[in-house]
Amino acid sequence: MTNAITIEHVNKVYDGKVTALKDVSFNVEEGEVFGLVGPDGAGKSTLFNILTTLLLPDSGKISLLGMDVINEYKSVRQIIGYLPGVFSLYPDLSVEENLQFFAVMYKSSIEENMELIRPIWKQISPFSDRKAGKLSGGMKQKLALCCALIHCPKILFLDEPTTGVDPVSRKEFWDILKSIRTQGITVVVSTPYMDEATRCDRIAMIQEGQILGINTPSAFIRDFQGKLYTFRSENIFSLLNIMEQCPLRCNYYPYGEHCHIAFYDDVATALPQFEQFLQEQGQSHGEIIAIDPSVEDCFIEIVQMRNALNQTQP
Amino acid sequence: MNSIEVHDLTKQFGAFTAVNHISFEVREGEIFGFLGANGAGKTTAIKMMSGLLQPTSGTAIIAGYDVRTQSKLIKRNIGYMSQRFSLYNDLTVFENMQLFGTIYKIPRKELKERIHTSLKELDMDQHANTLVEAIPLGWKQKLAFATAILHRPKIVFLDEPTSGVDPIVRREFWKLIYDTASTGVTILVTTHYMDEAEYCNRISIMAEGELKLIGTPDELKKKMAATTINDVFVKFVRR
């Protein structure tokens, strides 16, 4: 596999005080859907802006298909498509005019690359005369995606395309990404939704400007350190207070309608001890069942371990 | 007792009906999840319930006051926090709380005490004099919530309060919601995280301006023959 993107030791500090990126290094392979997963403020957008030649890093080296993002920025811009985190189309132009504008800017035409965008365009073409500013959120995103694809880029950058989007539209958007992937376009996408991470080939978990880990979703799940169990309780949040007194090495948290607990001791002894603890605290609960972790469980574990490490090494 | 009583509430913008005859009640101290697809009419409904927008027809009694005639009293008795939280970046943590507390006319000495208690509960008392722009997003979110309840409102409206925060902070935020509700404060919350919908006592789902489903998470799952609220939502909106 050749690399579409290589990132080596990238740092970025704003105004000499706010560290946005701290020694970030990773590669993205050609043709893969690569996810950057992390909360707002983790540095995702800063990284996108550097990768798309809009912002200079303080140090480090980045190349896209062998081209340097600083010295060869003009060539880089020809081969990338970028959907920024904020709506950046012209609200006063119609849907079709926006698309035409982006095609012309890249010296292309709508007809030339219609094949690539056809599945998405079909959904918005009934509104082709409507002003882009008057579209619903989901439609705006689809138009923005068409505009980012209309020059047939080799690498597509999507900065939080589904934030604030409802679950149904989110699923539709990811179905579209899947079809783009089959065209051989490399996709780098950021999201705060952990469930979307499983739809990427590989993901990088990022927090406070640092990469916490890079792997396939299934490898993250395989490498989960604890033994994870789930159960039902009437008091999933008040259990948080009670668990502070639990002597076991474990991590408890609510997870939808369920409670999750990861044990870091031998479960053969930890599990009965935990059941006894709940009983002593007068907590009734459903059956405690072993389960496979989700990417969200993995993120929680990795962040908790990192926080614990930071506390012991000030 | 009900904190929110909405009956046939409707809002039309010209020919477009944003909210179409919705009716529901929320009990005192309940955590009520107000769900729906983008553009379903949630924000318009919340604006009417908080006295910011006059309904075209129908009634809403919020904390005992009528949205048509007593919107000032409603504003005094509710708290509101949106995803674009309204903290001032160039004021300190303390100053932000002071500003909102003063707007709500909390007496100066009382206000100071409340701010200190609140910051202590958030574990932020060390950072009272830090500029808001310098604190992490998760803290801002919790601070925005604490600020929204400083005047001890009877109801708090939370519009996507956890949008974009990490999984640990989301749970910390929900712990705050639970603690607040347990003191009798009613919470109406919107979210696109379906696991959070499971944390609500009851939820409703809006689509195309109508309130289509309402019940406990378990009731809705049973009704729609689904295993999670995400499935309920997808099944429902796709219909």
Task: Output the tens digit of pLDDT for each of chain A's 314 residues.
Answer: 689 999 999 999 998 888 999 999 999 999 999 999 988 888 999 999 999 999 999 999 999 999 999 999 999 999 999 999 888 899 999 999 999 999 999 998 999 989 889 888 988 999 999 999 988 777 888 899 999 999 999 999 999 998 878 888 888 889 888 888 888 899 999 998 888 999 999 999 999 899 999 999 999 999 999 999 999 998 888 899 899 899 999 999 999 889 999 999 999 999 999 999 999 999 999 999 999 999 999 999 999 888 888 776 64
Q: Which residues of A touch B194 (CB under 8 A)?
A: 167, 256
Q: What backbone torsions phi and psi does residue A86 show, to the nearest 5 degrees? A: -110, 150
Across-strand partners of A190?
A36
Query: What's the one-letter identity of residue A241?
Result: N
The set of residues, in sequence order, having a beta carbon less than 8 Å from that of A254 and lying 6+ positions away, is: A236, A237, A239, A240, A260, B171, B174, B199
Can you give the C-alpha Rg of chain B in angstroms? 18
Q: Is A65 left (phi over 0), alpha (psi -120 to 50) or beta?
A: left
Expressed in angstroms, the distance from the first to the final Cα of chain B is 35
Q: Where are the domains of chain B?
A: 2-238
Q: How far is A131 from chain B (nearest CA, A)?
A: 17
Across-strand partners of B214?
B204
A136 and B195 within 8 Å at the Cβ level: the answer is no
> Residue A164: which of B160, B171, B233 has the nearest Cβ?
B160
- Whether the pLDDT of residue B237 is over 80: the answer is no
Report d(CA A23, CA A210) in Å as an integer.
7
Torsion of CA A129, A134, A138, A141, to 10 degrees: 70
List the single best residue of A36, A237, A240, A242 to mutate versus B (max B Cβ within 10 A).
A237
B192 and A240 within 8 Å at the Cβ level: the answer is no
Report d(CA A225, CA A237) in Å as an integer.
24
B194 and A167 within 8 Å at the Cβ level: the answer is yes
The CATH code belonging to domain A225-292 is 3.30.70.270
pLDDT at B84: 66
pLDDT at A86: 82
> Residue B163: which of A163, A255, A299 has the nearest Cβ?
A163
> Residue A38: which of B166, B193, B237 has the nearest Cβ?
B166
Q: How far is B66 from chain A (nearest CA, A)?
A: 31
Helix (H, G, I), strand (E, B) or coil at A136: coil
- Residues B75-96 have pLDDT tens digits of 999 999 987 667 999 999 999 9
List the single best residue of B135, B165, B166 to mutate versus A (max A Cβ within 10 A).
B166
Report d(CA B220, CA B38) in Å as an integer.
20
- Whether the pLDDT of residue B28 is over 80: the answer is yes
Query: Is A237 within 8 Å of chain B by CB?
Result: yes
pLDDT at A280: 94
Query: What's the one-letter identity of residue B131?
Result: L
Over range B186-212, report the average pLDDT. 94
Query: What's the one-letter identity of residue B136?
Result: P
> Residue A40: which of B164, B217, B233 has the nearest Cβ?
B164
**In this structure, are residues B50 and B218 in contact, taking their beta carbons and an 8 Å threshold?**
no
Q: What is the ipTM of this complex?
A: 0.83
Band (pLDDT 50/70/90 cuts) for residue B238 is: low
Average pLDDT over chain B, rounded to an integer: 93
DSSP per-residue string spanning A141-181: HHHHHHHHHTT--SEEEESSTTTT--HHHHHHHHHHHHHHH
Q: How far is B74 from chain A (nearest CA, A)?
A: 28
pLDDT at B85: 65
Torsion sign across C-alpha atoms A51, A53, A59, A64: positive
Report d(CA B163, CA A176) in Å as an integer.
23
Report d(CA A34, CA B54) in Å as an integer.
47
> Residue B195: which of A192, A237, A256 has the nearest Cβ?
A256
**In this structure, are residues A258 and A231 in contact, taking their beta carbons and an 8 Å threshold?**
yes
CATH classification for the domain delimited by B2-238, as one of 1.10.357.10, 3.40.50.300, 3.50.50.60, 3.40.630.30:
3.40.50.300
- Residues A152-177 have pLDDT tens digits of 999 999 999 988 788 888 888 898 88
pLDDT at A1: 64
Alpha helices in A52-136 (DSSP H): 73-79, 95-105, 114-124
The CATH code belonging to domain A3-216 is 3.40.50.300
Q: Which residues of A touch B193 (CB under 8 A)?
A: 193
Q: How far is A237 from chain B (nearest CA, A)?
A: 6
Q: What are the tokens at A125?
A: 């073409």
- Nearest residue in B to A135, CA atom: B39
Over range B166-192, report the average pLDDT. 93
Task: Record the pTM.
Answer: 0.87
B166 and A303 within 8 Å at the Cβ level: the answer is yes
* Closest C-alpha to B96, from B126, B130, B125, B52: B130
**CA angle A212–A213–A217, rounded 5-degree value:** 130
B199 and A240 within 8 Å at the Cβ level: the answer is no
Report d(CA A177, CA A189) in Å as an integer.
10
Query: Strand A3-14 vs strand A80-83: parallel, antiparallel, or unpaired?
Result: unpaired
B165 and A39 within 8 Å at the Cβ level: the answer is yes
**CA angle B229–B200–B173, rounded 5-degree value:** 110
- Whether the pLDDT of residue B130 is over 70: the answer is yes
* Closest C-alpha to A251, from A276, A283, A216, A227: A227
Helix (H, G, I), strand (E, B) or coil at B61: strand
Q: What backbone torsions phi and psi does residue A208 show, to the nearest 5 degrees? A: 50, 45
pLDDT at A246: 93
The set of residues, in sequence order, having a beta carbon less than 8 Å from that of A66 and lying 6+ positions away, is: none
Query: Strand A186-191 vs strand A33-37: parallel, antiparallel, or unpaired?
Result: parallel
Q: How far is A196 from chain B (nearest CA, A)?
A: 12
**In this structure, are residues B103 and B112 in contact, taking their beta carbons and an 8 Å threshold?**
no
What's the Cα-to-Cα distance from A288 to each of A231, A233, A274, A285, B171, rounded to whole Å? 5, 10, 10, 8, 21
- Mutual orientation of helices B93-103 and B137-148 as an angle, nearest 10°? 20
Q: Where are the domains of chain A?
A: 3-216, 225-292
Half-sphere exposure of B204 (CA within 13 A, CB side): 22
A256 and B178 within 8 Å at the Cβ level: the answer is no
